[in-house]
Amino acid sequence: MSRRDQEPVFVAEFSDRAGAEEAWSAITAAGIAAAVVTDSPPWGAPLHRVQVERRDAAAAVRAMKPV
């Protein structure tokens, strides 16, 4: 496995934490390690993103389809 495969990538972003948590739940239920990362810029509302390793990105997107 290459180092690039282990790089973190964002697979979804939400304006509300609940949506991000729901996506995170679907991804982790599929056996994929994921994290919710929240950015609070000085302008606008917080942005919640779901992050996985690059090698798991396609599977994570499939796992979120029902969400």
List Cβ neighbours of 43 (8 Å cut-off, separation of 6 or more): none
What pLDDT score was predicted for residue 1? 64
CA pair distance 46, 3, nearest whole angstrom:
30
Q: Please give the model's pTM, rounded to 2 decimal places.
A: 0.87
- Domains in the chain, start-ordered, CATH in brackets? 4-64 (3.30.70)
What pLDDT score was predicted for residue 66? 65
Per-residue pLDDT of the chain (67 residues; tens, 9 = 90+): 678 878 999 999 999 999 999 999 999 999 999 999 999 988 889 999 999 999 999 999 999 986 5
What pLDDT score was predicted for residue 67? 54
